[in-house]
Amino acid sequence: AGQLGDGAAMYLGEVLSPQGERWEIQLKGAGLTPFSRQADGRKVLRSSIREFLCSEAMFHLGIPTTRAGTCVTSDSKVVRDIFYDGNPKNERCTVVLRIASTFIRFGSFEIFKPPDEYTGRKGPSVNRNDIRIQMLDYVISTFYPEIQEAHSDNNIQRNAAFFREITKRTARLVAEWQCVGFCHGVLNTDNMSIVGLTIDYGPFGFMDRYDPEHICNGSDNTGRYAYNKQPEICKWNLGKLAEALVPELPLEISELILEEEYDAEFEKHYLQKMRKKLGLIQLELEEDSKLVSELLETMHRTGGDFTNIFCLLSSFSVDPDPSNVEDFLEKLTNQCASVEELKVAFKPQMDPRQLSMMLMLAQSNPQLFALIGTKANINKELERIEQFSKLQQLTAADLLSRNKRHWKEWLEKYRVRLQKEIESVSDADAWNTDHVKVMNSNNPKYILRNYIAQNAIEAAENGDFSEVRNVLKLLENPFQEAEDFEEIKEGTEEEGASAAAAACAQETRSRLPYCSKPPLWASELCVT
């Protein structure tokens, strides 16, 4: 496009706090800017509430992120075709005030790109190495002062140290995402922060039922940004940043750094975090990685709720008493997908005639097939059909029995591993207290599930903003029981009528506890 983004951000300036912290202030959605192209520079209530709530949710989960200061809406309307399906509607204009130490991205350095050998496209500041040097100097001296100080007499070494640090920060950031089931949705170079923050909340989603191939963005047809692809795509983006830093950092240096550091840092941080989530606080054993992957495999087989399963594990007793195990299995299987939920998840997505045509085309004209479809997508659809067919014969009792068997197998391995922890300490009670404490502070009870955000959005679109405030309050304490949580009620006269109408709809849809796995209607939600 020759520029970054859709031109809806206005940079107001920066504030230096008394502690010397630097905060950039931005408005998102305040109207036309010189970069709005054919668009209007506006954002709507729906997407703004999602950005506002998720920025704060991530911060309180302890994950590096930009922040949201305010969310302001108005009666001005713009037309939006939400699902790009020819059904536009009027939506309220809304502005989010965003705060971060910097909004510079990997993509900011791609404005210097030389012409592409295939498309001929080039960056708007091609051949302006003077600006690249200025920007790199600014980023390193302002946000990586210790690196600037350590290598003030050698720019190549300084730039290499900077690239090593942003590689490690990015690897740790993605590991944090994977450990809470967060999917970003649009991980291009424009949405990667130069200081390692989660940035630009669009079609994101927290995973409910564990599915390694989960796609949160309804318009990501190829699954480029699927949950299990996030580590790989962020590494690819770092490779693009490396290319954009030439000649200030030669590619042979940055590529070596990327290969040396990224995967190792990701694996190390991911496993450290997973040990905490499982309460493995005493020993670091080689077998832990296998235990984690077998847990995720069990979750996948049983359609387990990612967040709630981890939460439950803190109450698992090492005591092998059969009645305790049976009670715990009951709780675990309640967090697994029902037959109805699985039928919705595996419902075939292609018209049978279309699939048949694609399969014939794959045989008769592989070149043409490669242009209009991917083998992976077809295989996935065939797998879906097979699973859906099996589900037609499956009873709830069979599913429950199967799920209990899978979980019993994994829990036995987990019990053996916890026993090793206990055997390595002198005070088992003190260990257990710490074990539970660490698990409860690393496994959130509340996340911004799509259905929770949707309930808040629908109420706000009807003039009642109390649900947004309720959800925000909850997300500010994601690891705590909400026993003392009091819902905020709004009662101004002008909001009264529309709020009453919204309340009726809300009563039927949102009486589930905020920590509940999603209701069946939530599977219909699509975010693009």
Amino acid of residue 33: T
- Separation of alpha carbons 161 and 140, rounded Å: 10
SS3 for 373? coil
Question: Are the CB atoms for 168 and 265 separated by under 8 Å?
Answer: yes
Q: Radius of gyration (Cα) for the chain, nearest Å?
A: 25
- Separation of alpha carbons 174 and 155, rounded Å: 28
Q: Of 517, 500, 326, 528, which is closest to residue 411 (Cα–Cα)? A: 326
Is 137 marked active-site?
no
Long-range contacts at 355-362 (CB < 8 A, ≥ 24 apart) = 355/381, 355/382, 355/385
Question: Are the CB atoms for 185 and 216 separated by under 8 Å?
Answer: yes
- Distance (Å) of CA 196 to CA 65, 169, 183, 381: 8, 5, 16, 36
Please measure the distance between the N-terminal and C-terminal CA atoms of the chain and give it in whole angstroms. 20
Task: Respond yes or no on whether the N-terminal peptide bond of residue 247 is cis (omega within 30° of 0).
Answer: yes
Q: Of 46, 24, 33, which is closest to residue 6 (Cα–Cα)? A: 33
Token pair for 251 = 């590619």
- Separation of alpha carbons 345 and 18, rounded Å: 51
Q: How many Cβ atoms sit within 10 Å of the Cβ of residue 466?
A: 20
Q: Which of 153, 190, 263, 305 does the annotation list as catalytic?
A: 190
Q: Of 136, 105, 139, which is closest to residue 22 (Cα–Cα)? A: 139
Amino acid of residue 519: P
DSSP assignment letter at 102: -
Active site residues per annotation: 190
